[in-house]
């Protein structure tokens, strides 16, 4: 379907969130295919779905995602989805590990966990980035009251180090770990 961008918000230079007024009915972990005329389509994670609106957050790293940085409010783009499988909430104490752009689907899952009929007793949101200027959704997560753990490679906010450093501190108390991020980060979480 072709949808008008209701809101285009810069998260930090080179990364934007796009909000659409549309009932997508997606679940955390699913994605949509985004179509731009002349450039084709690419899969993008869903960062939020609030019944009547949904959000995607895109960082400009390649030709397609850089073109998305030029999309403005009221522009129309193609959306196909939701596609893919989704996370199932399990465990009383869960850790949600989001590295870089993986923060989008993890933030969506955190909100689902907080407001779900089945609610875990403890929700740890581990957010990592190279520097504090590249952290996504910290304020959003503080607003919903999850236990937030921040790591930055340069130590500019939170603990200096990787998301696995924060995970090591709580892993003994965690029943289930959910993770989205770069493959190397996911492998490190798996190995831990």
Joined together, the tokens standing for residue 18 give: 């796009």
pLDDT tens per residue, range 123-167: 999 999 999 999 999 999 999 999 999 999 999 999 999 999 999
pLDDT at res. 116: 80
What is the SS3 assignment for the chain? CEEECCEEEEEECCEEEEEEECCCCCCCCCEEEEEECCCEEEEEEEEEECCCEEEEEEECCCHHHHHHCCCCCCCEEEEEEEECCCCCCCCCEEEEEEEHHHHHHHHHHHHHHHHCCCCCCEEEEEEEECCHHHCCCHHHHHHHCCEEEEEECCCCCCEECCHHHHHHHHHHHCCEEEEECCHHHHHHHHHC
pLDDT tens per residue, range 72-128: 999 999 999 999 999 999 999 999 998 877 899 999 999 999 988 677 889 999 999
pLDDT at res. 101: 78
pLDDT at res. 14: 92
141 CB-near residues (< 8 Å, 6+ apart) = 107, 110, 125, 127, 148
């Amino acid at each position: 379907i072709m949808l008008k961008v209701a809101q285009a918000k810069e998260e930090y230079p080179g990364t934007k969130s796009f909000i659409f007024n549309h009932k997508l009915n997606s679940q955390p972990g699913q994605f949509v295919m985004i179509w731009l005329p002349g450039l084709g389509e690419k899969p993008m994670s869903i960062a939020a779905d609030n019944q009547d609106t949904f959000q995607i957050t895109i960082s400009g790293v390649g030709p397609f995602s850089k073109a998305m940085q030029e999309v403005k409010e009221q522009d129309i783009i193609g959306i196909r989805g939701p596609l893919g499988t989704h996370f199932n909430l399990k465990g009383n104490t869960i850790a949600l590990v989001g590295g870089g752009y993986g923060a989008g689907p993890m933030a969506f899952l955190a909100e689902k966990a907080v407001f779900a009929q089945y609610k875990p007793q403890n929700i740890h949101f581990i957010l990592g980035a190279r520097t504090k200027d590249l952290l996504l959704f910290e304020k959003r997560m503080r607003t919903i009251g999850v236990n937030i753990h921040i790591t930055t490679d340069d130590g500019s906010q939170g603990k200096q180090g990787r998301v696995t450093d924060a995970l090591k501190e709580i892993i003994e108390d965690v029943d289930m770990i959910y993770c989205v991020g770069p493959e190397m980060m996911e492998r490190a979480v798996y190995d831990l």
